[in-house]
Structure 1
């Protein structure tokens, strides 16, 4: 009887351990993240008109006509590959959309830069398009003054913690990162938090990025490499 009780107890403990193991958090160290960048184009245009030194009535009229044919929120897509403590952010450029939506040719509403970040050396290499020329710019990773808060939210099933930051001591940033993806990185050049940034916003610039999909897959190291200079 004692032997049967002992065996039953062992089986119960073993079963409990197996069930618990199913809920152990998996930490994603390599994969691909899809991002959507949302830009409030109307707000950007209003600000440009307000800051204009000239009383340009035509700009106001043109803006009203613009609103009839263009949405307030412009969506731009991009991907972020990560692995081996490195990231590669690549925008999906829709030439037609960029030509029709960027009425004032505002940099904030565009997404042309491909950015490679190596956290092992704290360096980044960006491919930037200026007019018809493409340049490579090498620099250290962005220095953002972060303050982590107690606020959390769920993004694509990942528990993310909020952090407030300052870029260049003046631009306010709000980000949500997850340590379930223990790779320092995020869209564009946003970085510096103890995990992957899945959502980030520049409230005063009327722009934000949010992850729409996380693919847990081993990304070949050969595909996470610095961009090459190329004129287009």
Structure 2
């Protein structure tokens, strides 16, 4: 009887192991489609407050006109190609076209960055567009002090764990990453977690990036590239250039600078 019990137990363990092995995915290359969503109405209201025009009839009229002609959420798409050591983040679709007007050219609505990251070396190259200027920024990757939590959610079919952080001294970040994709990457310049970021939110900036699909099909080398046009700078040089250029922008300078360096 004991022998039969041992056999049954061993069989159940084998079945459980086989089942877990079937469900475990340790992806090291593939393609992720992200959707970026910006709450434009709330973002514009915040910007009006920064300008000091909260009770100004001109701004109220401009906002009402914007709301009549534009959706609340601006949606744009991007693609992340990744291999074992390299990721390439490429904007693939601009936000829904604005009718223009006072708020049509806000930097927050742009998809300004194409980013090539060497995950192993901890370096990145970013083609960054800031209004009419294009820069090619080469530097080390962003260092983020993540705090991993016990909260989980499913994104694009993957079990993801939440992590929180503060970047640029004041920008609160929430990320959901999966260890099933064994590459430390994510949308834009965010990474540094023990797996791939499939969901990212900057709650106080009213913007999110969430994966809508993940493919583990092999990625060719020609996909792991970004455009190289732009004035060559590092992060410190770009910081100095923008600080100098924005010094006469008054109250809107900080917001513009923050998004340009994001």
Structure 1 length-normalised TM = 0.86
The match for 2:109 is 109
Q: In 2 relative to 1, CA 102–152 (structure 1 residues): closer, same or farther, beyond 3 Å? A: farther
2:173–2:201 CA contact under 8 A, matched in 1: yes
Structure 2 equivalent of residue 150 of structure 1: 150
What is aligned with 2:64?
A: 64
The within-5 A match list for 1:31-180 is 31-53=30-52, 56-94=56-94, 97=97, 100=100, 103-180=103-180
Residue 228 in structure 1 maps to residue 228 in structure 2 = yes
Greater than 6 Å deviation, 4+ residue runs: none
Higher strand share: 1
* CA contact 2:62–2:102 (8 Å) conserved in 1: no
CA shift for structure 1 position 230: 5.8
Deviation per CA, 1:132-184, whole angstroms, max 9, x where unpaired?
33221112111111000011111122110000111023211000000000101
Partner Cα distance (1:137, 1:64) in 2: 38
Instruction: Give 5+ residue unaligned stretches, structure 2.
Output: 232-262
Q: Secondary structure at the match of 1:23?
A: helix
- 1:49/1:60 contact within 8 Å kept: no
SS state at 1:49 partner: helix
Cα gap change, 1:96 to 1:25, in 2 (>3 Å): closer
Tell me which residue corresponds to 1:25.
24
Deviation at 1:227, TM superposition (A): 2.9
SS in 2 for 1:90: strand
Quickly say closer, same or farther: Cα 1:98–1:82, change in 2 above 3 A.
farther
Cα contact 1:86–1:118 (8 A) shared by 2: yes
Given the two structures, how large is their TM-score scaled by the length of structure 2?
A: 0.77
Q: Given the alignment of the two structures, is residue 217 of structure 1 paired with residue 217 of structure 2, yes or no?
A: yes
Assess if the C-alpha contact under 8 Å between 1:84 and 1:221 holds in 2: no
Q: Assess if the C-alpha contact under 8 Å between 1:79 and 1:91 holds in 2.
A: yes
- The 5-angstrom pairing of residues 162-201 of structure 1 reads 162-201=162-201
Tell me how far apart the structure 2 counterparts of residues 196 and 163 of structure 1 sit (CA, whole Å).
Answer: 12
**SS of aligned partner of 2:22:** coil
Q: What secondary structure, in the 3-state scheme, does the structure 1 residue paired with 2:138 have? A: strand
* Farther off after superposition, 200-209 or 53-62: 53-62
Query: Distance in 1 between the 2:84 and 2:35 partners?
Result: 24
Taking structure 1 as reference, are residues 200 and 61 closer, same or farther at Cα in structure 2, changes over 3 Å only? Answer: same
Tell me: CA distance 1:17–1:190, structure 2 relative to 1, closer, same or farther (3 Å). Answer: closer
Q: Residue 51 of structure 1: CA displacement?
A: 1.4
Asked if structure 2 preserves the Cα contact closer than 8 Å seen for 1:102 and 1:110, the reply is: no
Count of residue pairs brought into register by the alignment: 223
